[in-house]
Chains A and B, each alone.
Chain A
Amino acid sequence: MWEEIDLLKLREIISSVFILLGIAFMLIASIGLLRFPDFYCRMSAITKGSTLGLGLIVSGMGIYFNQPDMALKVTLIISFTFVTAPVAAHVMARTAVRNKVPFWYKTNLTEFKEYLRKKHQEDKEAKKEEPAPKA
């Protein structure tokens, strides 16, 4: 029974399903980047969508090639993306909050306002205390 199954065809079909799912997530992330009203909403959309979409596309490629070295490289790409994408998003969001990038008017900021006020006060004091640059 097992000899009748065409393994290459099976791998191609599984790989096609993974790639179609992955490009669907990538397309959703790109539309979200274009359509969302606010910098923070856009960042949330693209970080989650692009991480999952890239993981699906690359693992579909690993399934198609079906070799150990390719599996190692695919695991390297996926693990690196899963580690670095949240770090980059967190750094960018923190920088944007410190630089007073405006929020959307519907965002609920009642508990966040205290933190924002404190941080902006700290930044202002740090700027004041900073000595003038030597000529």
Chain B
Amino acid sequence: MSIFTTTLLIAISVLSFCLVLVSIRFILGPTLPDRITAFDLFVANTIGIIAIYTELTGHENFIDVAIILSVFGFLGSISFAYYLMKAYR
């Protein structure tokens, strides 16, 4: 196993650990804005995992998934903020 593959495996396991930490904050989070920012970081971690998986397998088509996911994460957080603005005023 080369040093490059080892680095990629370390990276994918550290990012999975980050997902666990973010999920703990998602469960704890006292208010709804906390959960929305946790969701934002969740999407960013998932994009990182997809990028590393693309590098690990060598299939270049997977990177399109990361582009679409970055668009939809932004849309999700913006629409939740709009809902909060309308709901509690």
Residues of A within 8 A of B (CB): 12-13, 15-16, 19-20, 22-23, 26-27, 29-31, 33-34, 39, 42-43, 46, 50-51, 53-54, 57-58, 60-61, 64-65, 67, 69-70, 73-74, 76-77, 80-81, 84-85, 87-89, 91-92, 95-96, 98-99, 101, 123, 126-127
Contact = CB atoms under 8 A, between A and B. Distances in A.
Contacts of A64: 55
Q: Could you tell me the dominant secondary structure of chain A's interface residues?
A: helix
Contact of A91 (B3, B45, B78, B89): B78
Contact of A16 (B7, B24, B54, B74): B7
A39 B77 CA distance: 15
Interface residues of B, number: 46
Which A-B residue pairs are the 6 nearest by beta carbons? A30-B18, A50-B44, A84-B74, A12-B4, A16-B7, A30-B21
B78 A88 contact: yes
B36 to A, nearest CB: 6
A16 B64 CA distance: 22
B71 A80 contact: yes
Nearest to A56: B48
A67 to B, nearest CB: 8
B82 to A, nearest CB: 8
A101 B33 contact: yes
Contact of B47 (A76, A77, A88): A77
Contacts of B89: 98, 123, 126-127
A19 B24 contact: no
Contacts of A80: 67, 70-71, 74
B81 A92 contact: yes
20 contacts: A16-B4, A19-B8, A19-B55, A20-B7, A22-B11, A23-B10, A27-B17, A51-B44, A57-B51, A58-B47, A58-B51, A74-B63, A85-B40, A85-B74, A88-B78, A92-B33, A95-B84, A98-B85, A99-B88, A126-B89
